[in-house]
Structure formats: C-alpha cells, structure tokens
Structure 1
Amino acid sequence: MSEVLVRVGVELLDPRGRSPLQLAVCLGHLESARVLLRHGADLSRESQHGWTVLQEAVSTGDPELVQLVLQFRDYQRATERLGGIPELLSKLLKARDFYVEMKWEFTSWVPLVSKVCPSDVYRVWKSGSKLRVDTTLLGFEHMSWQKGRRSYIFKGGDEGAVVMELDHEKQVVYTETLSLSLQDPELLLSAVEPSEESVAQRLTAPIVSTHLDTKNIAFERNKSGIWGWRSEKSEAISGYEAKVYSATNVELVTRSRTEHLSDQDKNRSKGNKTPLQSFLGIAEQHTAHNGSHVTQCATPTNPTAITPEEYFNPSFNLQSRDIGRPLEITNKIQRFKATLWLCENHPLSLTEQVTPIIDLMAISNAHFAKLRDFITLKLPPGFPVKIEIPLFHVLNAQITFSNFCGCDDPVSSLTVSSPAQDSQEPAGGATAGASQGPSPPLMCEVDPSVFEIPPEYTAVGAGPSEPMRDEDDDLLQFAIQQSLLDAGTESEQVTIWEALTNTRPNSNPPPLEEDSQLER
C-alpha cells in the first residue's frame, strides 16, 4: 500500500500542471530528479505545451541531468517493450492464422528525391502466438539508409516471450527471453547508460519535436468522372474493391527550441539549413519567448525569481512569468492530404490481426510508429488495403497490403485451403464484381519451420538495443543530400539551383538578381 501511495504522490500535478519530476527538471534540481526517477516517476508524461521531460532537461544545459533523464527514459522504454510484447502476442493468439505482405514505398514531392527513396516489402507470418516479420530496409543511420536481410521472430509462451533477430548475411541470431530480462532492473538500467557523446550531441543541437496534428482531420470520398458527371471513386487494390478516401487537414508540426545553445551552436544550426529548405518554405515561421528580464535574485532556471508561494498559489497570475529558461521556439507547419483505400469485405481484421503487428514493430521502428498513430484514428469503415501518409517534411509513405495467404503469389511455407474447395463452384470460377456479399475468408496453415533458426546460424545472445529516433530532421537533410548526390553519375549530378531552374550542368543560365532568384 505504501508503494502505491508513493507512486500516486509521484504523479500528482501542481497548480501549473507539472508533475514533481517535471518541476524538478525544469528547475534543474538533479538530486530531486534522481530520487523521483528511482521511485518510478513517469518520463513519458508531456507538459501542457507538449514537451517531454527529456526535452526540458536538455533545455537546462546540464549534462548530468540530461544523462540521468536519458538513461531512465531508455530504461522505461525497455521495460515497457519487454512487458508489452507478451500481451500483444496473446492478442494474436486469439486471431486466425495468416500471411500477408506490406509493401512500403517512399515518395516525395521534391524534384529528384523520389528517385533515391527506398522501398521495402515486409513479409509477415502469423501462427498461434508466433510471429515472423522479414525486412530488407533496416532504418536510417549516419545519413544513409541501412539495408540488409533481417527476420524478427516473436514467440509467446506461458513463462513469457522470446524475441529473435536473424541476420541472414552474417548468419547469426540474437535471442532475448523477456521474462528473464525483467528480473534484474539494475542490470537493464546499466545496459542503457548513454554515452558522453550522445549527451553532448543533444546539448549542442536544437530540441526538435515533430508530430502529426490530426485534431481537425476530416475524411471524404474521392470523386471520379468528367463533364459534370461525378461518382464516388473506387479502385481494385490487390484483388479487392476499395473505396478511395482523402484525409484533409493533416498537419505536420515541427517545433525547435534553442534557448540552451551557445551563440556558436545557434549559428552552426542555422548554417546547417540548406538553400533548398528555404526555397521549399521549410523555414522559421515565428519565434516565441516566455519570461521577462532576469532579476538580480534569479537563477538560470528561474529567471523571474518566482517564489514557491507564488508558484503554488492557484490564484496567483503568473502571466508571462514562469520557471525554466525563457523559451526560444521556432514553429514549422506543413499541411498534407493523406489518402486511404478502404475495403469493407477484406478478410484481415485491423484491430485483431494487423494492429498488434504494427504495435510490435513500432517499438523500435519510427516508420511503424507514425503509421500506428495514423491508423488509431477513427477511420471510415473498412480495412485500409492501401494508405498514403506523410512521414517527414518531404517524404510520404505508401503502404499496401497484398498477397494475403499467398493468394497472389504462392508461398512455399503456406498450405492454403480455399472456401471454394468446399462449395459447388470451382475455385476461381467467380468473376470480379459478381459476389453478392463478403466472401468466406481464406484459411492458411503456416509451416512450423518458418519460426525455427537454421542450424548453420550462430546464437550470440541478446543484441544491442537501438533506441527509436527522436528527431526527423536528419532524414530531411538526407533526402536533400541524396537528391543531389545520387541523381546520376558524377558527370550528371546537378546543384540545388540547377534542379530548381531546370538547367543542365555546364549550361550558362542568364544572371538573375537575388530578388528574382528568390521569387523563382
């Protein structure tokens, strides 16, 4: 009971909407934050303005505080992952077995970028409480897309769950038994201790927060036809008739804070912006500050010298006075229109079969995390056989579900039983559009060998845990750089200005004054 009371007290909010941990971090009180974190204070809680505890810690400029918060943030993420996977596998156990392919295609509206955008096909096998996902696109690191053949195998059981990552190129397998990992919190905490380099990198870069704002989102059917005759649009996707919807008022909001940076770091951050970013409108919209002038008895984290009595008095009007360094915020808002292809008689269930898989992959994959955020919206009825959503500033993702139970291309590890085999109608005898209602679901049996490790592979224990990326600006820089570097051979490469003006290398475009260039 005492532990419960302590945990409740740790999460109580003060009159300004802050938890004790948020208050300690904003004031830069290192030891208070350490005690609260040791007692399980929640690091996932965001402030009223949408900032995480880690972001507030970075804003203080204190490397010890950032190191502490970052370590416990990764620890809490790891324990949530370890605790959540068995529950997700338990949900899958109740659903029908299946095989499906998820094709990811990345596109961009920026010239040349789409040519170098990667694509991947995730192959998914589900049998009982076992799941396997194959991929070739591993992620993004050091300004390049990471490719490789990997398989992720999840197995649920009475005593926990086992997660295996198979590296098919090195022929090694990393195995983690989740129930055992949960038994030693101190060992797990020490395993996620951040490096000095990662702490320094955060303290010398802007604090960036990117999220999809969907509070004003609206779905409407797309129309087709000409000459005044318009009908609701439908398309055949992977053999299924799908209604086409547009999601409007989708906003990608990016906020950057720089109050913790030195003048040198601020200048370097501004210098990192490429001319193309400015031309595309990916630039500062406005900068806001909180707080007023610093008084003599103030501290860097309490610049207006607010007393405890003033802070905790709900009737005291702080107005522009607040704790924490005065904010220096840059807001960037881009509006997108997402597209959905929804099939009302698809055999897959979004909530029972697909959502648990996306939740599993979202633990360590930022792309799946953004997809999860979108599909958890209240969508129109039907299964989203195809989705096109914005991922980053200049990149869209188009996800298509296909080859369900190997109905398009045979899969050797599947045994498929078609409902047509038990009816008078021969298999494949029905014509497109002739069915009078939802067709009976395909049934498939997955070969158990799919979830086994090849004998020639070497088991090397648990693999290194890679935390999910917090910022997306590196991907924007990458997309722009790749559009210039990988547009062709060395002799065919173009500059930013040549791409914008549609002139070839070595040509001599007429000189233009700066204002005219900016207008173009």
Structure 2
Amino acid sequence: MAGPGPTFPLHRLVWANRHRELEAALHSRQHDIEQEDPRGRTPLELAVSLGNLESVRVLLRHNANVGKESCQGWAVLQEAVSTGDPEMVQLVLQYRDYQRATQRLAGIPELLNKLRQAPDFYVEMKWEFTSWVPLVSKMCPSDVYRVWKRGENLRVDTSLLGFEHMTWQRGRRSFIFKGQEAGALVMEVDHDRQLVHTETLGLTLHEPEALLATMRPSEEHVASRLTSPIVSTHLDTRNVAFERNKCGIWGWRSEKMETVSGYEAKAGEVYSATNVELVTRTRTEHLSDQDKSRSKGGKTPFQSFLGMAQQHSSHNGAPVQQAASPTNPTAISPDEYFDPNFSLESRNIGRPIEMSSKVQRFKATLWLSEEHPLSLGDQVMPIIDLMAISNAHFAKLRDFITLRLPPGFPVKIEIPLFHVLNARITFSNLCGCDEPLSSVWVPAPSSAIAASASPFPCEVDPAVFEVPDGYSVLGAERSEPLRDEDDDLLQFAIQQSLLEAGTEAEQVTAYEEQLQLERALQESLQMSTEPGGPESPRRAPPSFEEQLRLALELSAREQAERERRGRREEEDLQRTLQRSLTEL
C-alpha cells in the first residue's frame, strides 16, 4: 500500500480513512494537525465532510480544533449534522462542548486578574428589551444586573433566568467569581432554593477525562439536531459606520444635553451605528422530506406577519457520476482535490448543500460620556466577557462593543439582538450614588482607598462574595455555567428562521405560539373594535390573518400619530424662534 503523498500527509490519510496510520502520524508530532488543505479544510473538517468517523475519532482524541469555521462560515458541528450520522454528531458535539468548557474555564483567572488591578466598584446594568412590533414589545421584560467588584472577586446578581414554554422564568440568582492561587472558584447561588453550585477551575482543568465524560449529549439532543435545520446567524459589522446624531433647525446645532444616570451626554456625543447587518443562512440537506415539510409548515406567525423574504440557493448540484458516494457526490479524485491549480468549479465534497439565506440591516445607538469614571476596557469588559460564557445577551453586547467605538464611556447602548428585538443597556447607581446600599460605602477621608488615585473611591463589603448562612453547597452543575450559547428568547421571537447554531432548549411549536399570539391580538384589538350592545348578534371572531392585518394598521396609525406630534412640535419651535428673532 502506497504511503501518503508528499504534501498534506494527514489529509491524505483522512481521505482514505486510514485511521491507524493517522494515529501513528499524530503520535510522532511531526505534522500540523491544524494545517489547511488547498480547499481551506483542516484534517478534522475534511474527515467530517467525508463522513470518515474513525478518522474523526482519532483527530478529536489528539485535540483537533472543533471550534474552527470553514471558509464559508460553517462550524465543524454544523458540517457533522449535514452528514446525517448520529454517531458523528454525538462525537463532535461532545468534544465541541469539552473544548469550549476548558477554553472558557482557562480564561476566567486571567479576566479576574485584570479586575484585580482596577479600582473596586459597584454598578447596575439595566437591560430593557424592546421591539418595534407592538405585541412583542408588550411581552418583553426588563432586568437589572447588579455588579460588585472587590479585588479579584466579582459578583453579578440577576432575576431574569430565561424564557420557556411561553413564560418568562424569574428567580434570584448570583454568579460569584473568586480568584485563587490555583485558579479560580466559581459559585452559582440559587437564592430561591438556597443552593450553591461550586466549581474550582484548577481541579477541573486537571481532570480532562472526567470533564469529557460529563459532556456526552443525550440521544434526544442528537436526534433534535438531526431533524432541525442547520442555521447560522451572525452580525456582520465590517461596514459599520458611527455617525453623530444632530439636533436643531435651519442649520443651527445646539449643545442639547441628555442626562443618563447622572452623567451628561451631549447631543454631539450620541452616535448611531449604521450598516449593522444580521446574516442568517439555513441548510436543510440532511433533513428527510417529512422533516422539511414540518419545518416549512412550522413557519411562525411572526415570519408571515413580517413578510421575511428568503433567498434560496442550492450548491453542489452537478450530476452524480457512477463512482460517486454520498459524501463525494461528484466523484472528485484525491489528485484533483489536493491540486491547488485544479479548479473544482461547482464540484465539492459532502452532501449537496440546500440553503436559504437572508440579510437584515439594523441601526444601533450609543450615548457616550467622557466624564464617566468607569473604564470600559479595564473594569466593564472583563465582566461582560465573564457573563458572555453563559449568557447570549452579554455575548451579543460583547461582539458589538469590541468594535472601535468613539471616545467616551457608553452610559447607554441600544443594540439589535434579533430581527424584531432590541436591547437597551443603561449603566447606573455607580457605587450606590443614586440608591445607597449597605454593602457599598464611600471610605473615610483618612483611609488608603480614599487617598488612592481612583476617581470614585468606593469600598465593597467582602461578605457579598461569601455563601449565605444556611445554604447547601453542592458540586459543579455544568449545565448552567457551561451551557451552549442558546437563547430561548430567540426561539420565541423568530423560531427556526433565526435560530442560532447550538440551541439546546426545547422548541416552542408554531401551533402553541399561534394560539398565544391570537389571544394577545384579541386582547389588544378589543379596545379598537366597536363593542356590540347586548342585543347585537354575536359575530364570528376574525381570522388570525385578519387580526395580524388589524394589528399592523394599529401600529401604523400609532406611528403616524407620533410623526404628526413631532412635526407639530417642530413647527411650534420654529414659530417661537421666529418671534424671538423679530423681537430682537
């Protein structure tokens, strides 16, 4: 049997699925396991695309990177799902979660060390979820994240836990991070049940086999992925531009001030971020006809309501040749594949892709204050990075504020989360300046903290980082701090058309959502319809489509009324200015 070719030796072993030779080659440590072939694939990506399970297993045991995305933006797990092989999906998903867990855990001590070097503080982050769709907006909640930081200890309290079965899940939960010499201690405190789940990161990272075993997904989870579309959603910020918001008329520009949490943001310091695009792509080649039919039939009322158009495309559609296989449908030879000068045109390996895509454009708004004493990079970003580990909203915020923002601290930020939902985040009550807290105080003038160079000397009670008396302390519950970056709110708002890859929560069926929306619409339309008298004959309730049409009309009338009020206020201002100029 001939040995591997002179170039891409690991890839050639993968192509032939010679997994024993691949194991030996990896043990020799002479080859780069992350080398890309002429088509941009690593050995693991190639093995998954070809459906060579034995080679995939060998590469994963040797720590091949599961998190890498292809040139087309598809993750290894998504390509595994496209094969339709349950064992492949289970294996890749287990190692994906294991690698993600170890990487996140390893990064926490560094984030805590960053915090240790910054001044102590307390701050509140108010999250308000809004929507331009009236019915959705009525169902959107708000939450306040309370943040204490002392040394390299951090505590974040929240009350909004998630969205499940059409109901907002509320509770009192604290996340406590404490730096230690051997790593860090993470505690999740459930105040309602008086339970504490603890995890020592140093110990966890030294027990890889035990950690890997806990990451094995259930058969139901694997089956759910294989019967659902593959969806990739990401914010494209390459063309983002920041523009100052202007105010005034006749070319005049006034220094209008807007106070946010006690800090003034001038009109010139309010920015709009334009050209923020949400790109959504959906693949269905792995689905059976029944699954595809259910997926299309499960189109949510929101999608019909909003008229969300999709562009459909199909790739790898070349005719299947005699020597083709399900994972090599156009019978590409290894010599053709590994020759960088050979054009494959529309030919490719893997199942022929069936994909729909759409792009939606959004605008974000920033209120900036150059007087705010908090440092975005040193104090706030480490907190956002820590919370983004298990909170999809913080992950979206992190992706946005890592852009090159204009100067100043963002005292208020409004960003798009999904197609119909925005999040408005406001920083307030810095060090208890608005509402005093017993756990935070301003130190005496003679103390070292007060004499420090900190612009806002603040002392935090160390007791807030300790387990309350009477609580039961348990071991790690990895399902929470290390869960996938799913977002149940996303399922409610857009369901399958905008589902992020990696959602693990139970799907809300279109039927249940339609019933809920119908009830909400009926209540909202009750005030706008003429009530019939006691003698009036009972009319049949309007259809769901008719209710949606009426809801849109109501929304349009409300918007028109707001615009009329705005024009009236502008006209009044102009008349006032004209009179004042005449008097001069």
TM over 0.5: yes
| 1:450 is the counterpart of 2:464 | yes
Change in Cα spacing, 1:441 to 1:8, as seen in structure 2 (3 Å) is farther
| 1:50 is the counterpart of 2:73 | yes
Residue equivalent to 1:284: 310
Residue equivalent to 1:436: none
Change in Cα spacing, 1:7 to 1:55, as seen in structure 2 (3 Å) is farther
Give the percent of matched residue pairs that are identical in Structure 1 and Structure 2.
Answer: 68
Residue equivalent to 2:473: 459
Structure 2 CA distance, aligned partners of 1:59 and 1:233?
55
- In the alignment, which of 344, 353, 363 is matched to residue 389 of structure 2? 363
Residue equivalent to 2:550: 501
More off after superposition, 71-80 vs 481-490: 481-490
Determine helix, strand or coil for the equivalent of 1:356.
helix
- In the alignment, which of 200, 203, 206 is matched to residue 183 of structure 1? 206
Determine helix, strand or coil for the equivalent of 2:134.
coil
- In the alignment, which of 113, 117, 131 is matched to residue 136 of structure 2? 113
* Deviation sequence 1:284-342 (CA, Å, 0-9, x none): 22323234111121111110000111000000000000111111111121111000011
Check conservation: 1:134, 1:151, Cα contact below 8 A.
Answer: yes
Instruction: Determine which structure has more spread, i.e. the larger CA radius of gyration.
Output: 2
Opposite residue 497 of structure 1, the aligned amino acid is: E
| 1:252 is the counterpart of 2:278 | yes
Residue equivalent to 2:221: 198
* Deviation sequence 1:239-278 (CA, Å, 0-9, x none): 1112200000001111100011111111100011134413
* Deviation sequence 1:454-478 (CA, Å, 0-9, x none): 1111112212424224574454247
Check conservation: 1:387, 1:399, Cα contact below 8 A.
Answer: yes
Residue 502 of structure 1 deviates from its aligned partner by 3.9
Opposite residue 448 of structure 1, the aligned amino acid is: P
Structure 1 CA distance, aligned partners of 2:264 and 2:470?
44
Change in Cα spacing, 1:232 to 1:194, as seen in structure 2 (3 Å) is farther
Check conservation: 2:50, 2:328, Cα contact below 8 A.
Answer: yes
| 1:476 is the counterpart of 2:494 | yes
Opposite residue 396 of structure 1, the aligned amino acid is: N
More off after superposition, 55-64 vs 457-466: 457-466
- In the alignment, which of 150, 153, 167 is matched to residue 130 of structure 1? 153
* Deviation sequence 1:427-449 (CA, Å, 0-9, x none): xxxxxxxxxxxx97211100111
Residue equivalent to 1:380: 406
Determine helix, strand or coil for the equivalent of 1:161.
strand
Gaps of 5+ in 1: 423-438, 505-520
Check conservation: 1:7, 1:41, Cα contact below 8 A.
Answer: no
Aligned length: 488
Residue 18 of structure 1 deviates from its aligned partner by 0.5
Check conservation: 1:101, 1:121, Cα contact below 8 A.
Answer: yes
Residue 379 of structure 1 deviates from its aligned partner by 0.6
Residue equivalent to 1:402: 428
Structure 2 CA distance, aligned partners of 1:483 and 1:408?
39
Opposite residue 231 of structure 2, the aligned amino acid is: V
Structure 2 CA distance, aligned partners of 1:157 and 1:169?
28
Check conservation: 1:60, 1:325, Cα contact below 8 A.
Answer: yes
Residue equivalent to 1:339: 365
Opposite residue 184 of structure 1, the aligned amino acid is: E
Residue equivalent to 2:17: none
Check conservation: 1:484, 1:496, Cα contact below 8 A.
Answer: no
Determine helix, strand or coil for the equivalent of 1:216.
coil
Gaps of 5+ in 2: 1-24, 496-507, 527-540, 554-584
Change in Cα spacing, 1:289 to 1:276, as seen in structure 2 (3 Å) is same
In the TM superposition, 1:421-460 aligns within 5 A as 441-460=455-474
* Deviation sequence 1:31-62 (CA, Å, 0-9, x none): 10111011010111100010000000001111
Residue equivalent to 1:36: 59
Structure 1 CA distance, aligned partners of 2:335 and 2:492?
43
How large is the Cα RMSD of the aligned pairs?
Answer: 2.7
Determine helix, strand or coil for the equivalent of 1:443.
coil
Structure 1 CA distance, aligned partners of 2:292 and 2:239?
34
| 1:298 is the counterpart of 2:324 | yes
Determine helix, strand or coil for the equivalent of 2:403.
coil
Opposite residue 322 of structure 2, the aligned amino acid is: Q
Residue 489 of structure 1 deviates from its aligned partner by 6.0
Residue equivalent to 1:222: 245
Q: Structure 1-normalised TM-score?
A: 0.88
In the TM superposition, 1:164-183 aligns within 5 A as 164-183=187-206
* Deviation sequence 1:87-117 (CA, Å, 0-9, x none): 1111111111000000000001112111110
Residue 125 of structure 1 deviates from its aligned partner by 0.0
Check conservation: 1:414, 1:446, Cα contact below 8 A.
Answer: yes
| 1:24 is the counterpart of 2:44 | no
Determine helix, strand or coil for the equivalent of 1:112.
helix
Check conservation: 1:339, 1:387, Cα contact below 8 A.
Answer: yes
Residue 143 of structure 1 deviates from its aligned partner by 4.7
Higher normalized helix content (fraction of residues): 2
| 1:414 is the counterpart of 2:440 | yes
* Deviation sequence 1:335-381 (CA, Å, 0-9, x none): 11000011112111111000000000001111111110001001111
Structure 1 CA distance, aligned partners of 2:54 and 2:280?
32
Determine helix, strand or coil for the equivalent of 1:179.
helix
Determine helix, strand or coil for the equivalent of 1:334.
strand
Residue equivalent to 2:104: 81
Structure 2 CA distance, aligned partners of 1:142 and 1:23?
39
* Deviation sequence 1:158-209 (CA, Å, 0-9, x none): 1111111111110111111111111111110110100000000000010011
Residue equivalent to 1:66: 89
| 1:322 is the counterpart of 2:371 | no
Residue equivalent to 2:298: 272
Q: Structure 2-normalised TM-score?
A: 0.79
